[in-house]
Amino acid sequence: MLSDLFVRDFRCFAEAKVELHPDVTLLVGRNAQGKTSLIEAACVLLRLQSPRTSNRVELVRFGASTCLLEAHWHGRPLRYAQSATTRRLAVDGATCSRSMDYLAASGLVVWMDHRDMSLLRGGAEHRRRFLDFAASQMFPDYLHALRGYERALRGRNYVLKRDAVISWKQADAFARVMDGFAQTLWQRRAELCAALLPEVAVAHAKLSDGAEKVTISFQSTGADERGLFEALLAVREEEGRSRSTALGPHRDDIGMSLNDLDATTFASEGQQRSFALAMKLAQAQVLEHACGSAPLMLMDDVFGELDAQRRRALLSLLPPGTQKIITTTTLDWADADHLSGRVYGVDQAVLSRIRG
């Protein structure tokens, strides 16, 4: 459980503290008051990444030079301090020089927002990001493999573009490095999809009255038994023309079907919304099974647009004991559902405890 979230010079906040409720904390306010920024702070503190940006400089309040985030995760103090160039992490008051050690001590997170529809409507990069965010929390070796693969891929693509005559010797050196990391990524992504499949089916059945059949499948690109290096040798001509790496985990995808039809193309908007919700609920269940503790659910304005039946299904499908921080522009739906917990108003980056 996350408690006592403190932020300084983070996004629009000069300084703020939230005493989080063990079950539900609602952050209510008009648009652009700072609600999302607060749950983003919780995500950055626990996972060292923001769902909104990969540019850390954006996190620091305009005019400030550093930001600070602090909270307790199951009683353990976590600290994140960041300037334009450096980042300092601490657990239990002791500095952590390796992010891997910090992440092993901090908590799990599932992030939900309106952009989850991109899992069905958007390109494969959205589905890969979903896999990466979950797998890096589940598997200790995943993030290292992902960063290593991305570095080698950037190097290889640079070599493919750089000269009029491509240096295949250099490109191959990068391909060998990529091959090693790719094996880990493929194995972990396949494991994750296999674990998600039954959970997606259960969640979706509850959200849609069990009327439809959903399946997901991991679609790897270039994962034949000879390995990525050999697979790339076979597409050399194509790469010579496109000047970019044609195969590998950076082209992977998740197949998503509804009643045996491709859900990304044939599902209605409502069906896609239920599918996207089911994916996030499944992520929560899988993380809980794999890691033995429920993730923190950070839910950015997702309830207002759901009907009462789906709202109830969504809350009942989370692992028992899941802590939730929910942003919303109105409490109408929460009052109608008799949702208890703690409520903070957020107005121009100032918090006021309203109830609970």
Ligand X SMILES: Nc1ncnc2c1ncn2[C@@H]1O[C@H](COP(=O)(O)OP(=O)(O)OP(=O)(O)O)[C@@H](O)[C@H]1O
Residues that bind ligand X (CB under 6 A): 11-12, 29, 31-37, 58, 60-62, 301, 327, 329
273 vs 148: CA distance, rounded Å:
34
Please state the closest distance from residue 341 (CB atom) to ligand X, in A: 19
Residue 93 annotated as binding site: no
DSSP state of 319: P
* Residue 35 marked ligand-binding: yes
Give the list of residues 6+ apart from residue 85 with CB closer than 8 angstroms, or none: none
Q: Are strands 24-28 and 66-73 parallel, antiparallel or unpaired?
A: unpaired
Question: What is the C-alpha to C-alpha distance for residues 110 and 119, in angstroms, rounded to an integer?
Answer: 14
Yes or no: say if 101 and 227 are a contact pair by the CB < 8 Å rule: no
DSSP per-residue codes, 201-238:
HHHHHHHTTT-S-EEEEEE-SS--TT-HHHHHHTTHHH
Q: How many CA atoms lie within 13 A of 212 on its CB side?
A: 22
Shortest gap between Cβ of 253 and ligand X (angstroms)? 29
Q: Token pair 């992440």 is at which residue?
A: 103
- Min. distance of Cβ 87 from ligand X in angstroms? 16
Ligand-binding site membership of 75 (annotated): no
33 is in an annotated binding site: yes
Report CA 123 to chain centroid distance, whole Å: 16
Closest approach, Cβ 307 to ligand X, in A, equals 21
Nearest residue (CB) to ligand X, 253 versus 301: 301
Residue 32 annotated as lining a ligand binding site = yes
The tokens of 185 are what?
């990524």
Q: What are 102's two structure tokens?
A: 């910090």
Q: Smallest distance, Å, CB 67 to ligand X?
A: 8
Nearer to ligand X, 67 or 89 (CB): 67
Residue 34, annotated as binding a ligand = yes
The residue (of 199 and 301) whose beta carbon lies closer to ligand X is: 301
Q: Report the residue number, 34 or 249, with the smaller CB distance to ligand X.
A: 34
For 85, the 3-state DSSP assignment is coil
Compute the distance between CA of residue 155 and CA of residue 149 in angstroms, rounded to an integer: 10
114 vs 213 by CB, closer to ligand X: 114
Q: Least distance (Å) from ligand X to the CB of residue 38?
A: 7
Closer of 285 and 327 to ligand X (Cβ): 327
Tell me whether residue 98 is exposed, middle or buried, using C-beta atoms within 10 angstroms of its C-beta: 0 to 12, 13 to 18, 19 or more. Answer: exposed
Residue sitting closest to ligand X (CB)? 36
Binding-site members for ATP are 29-36
Residues tagged in the binding site annotation: 29-36
